[in-house]
Amino acid sequence: MSKILLIEDDSLFVKMYQKKFTHEGLELVAAYDGDEGVEKAKSEKPDLIILDLMLPKMSGSEVLKKIKEDPQTSEIPVIVLTNLSTSADEVTRCVQLGVKETYLKTNVTPEQVFETVKKYAP
């Protein structure tokens, strides 16, 4: 079973994805701020990370930078799921840091995110 780390501060959003992913046979671990996300990336060793960019304590691009700089977590694929416009500087920084896909939350369904997860998580 693949383990997915969702770094997202909206608890309703987390519950929606937990329900979808559990139904599909995936394990979903949640982190509700940037600091917790970096820690759980190390401790949980997920197969894939879904990252929001607007987070408490640390921005999503900062989280991504720390994950990519750490040899323990640098190879974990990351998908960005955000409310920021894809033209935003924050999104551009994430693409430069190697995210696999970037989605606008309002333009994607949990099913579409699940299909993307299947492409990158074993």
Q: Tokens 């040899």 — which residue? A: 71
What is d(CA 74, CA 82) in angstroms, rounded to the nearest whole number? Answer: 21
- Bigger pLDDT: 11 vs 93: 11
**CATH classification at residue 95:** 3.40.50.2300
- Domain total in the chain: 1
What is d(CA 23, CA 85) in angstroms, rounded to the nearest whole number? Answer: 30
What is d(CA 68, CA 17) in angstroms, rounded to the nearest whole number? Answer: 24
What is d(CA 112, CA 56) in angstroms, rounded to the nearest whole number? Answer: 26
pTM greater than 0.85 = yes
Q: What is the pLDDT of residue 118?
A: 92
What is d(CA 41, CA 66) in angstroms, rounded to the nearest whole number? Answer: 10
For the stretch 33-43, pLDDT in tens is 999 999 999 99
Residue 29: give the domain boundaries: 3-120
For the stretch 64-98, pLDDT in tens is 999 999 999 999 999 999 886 655 677 777 778 88
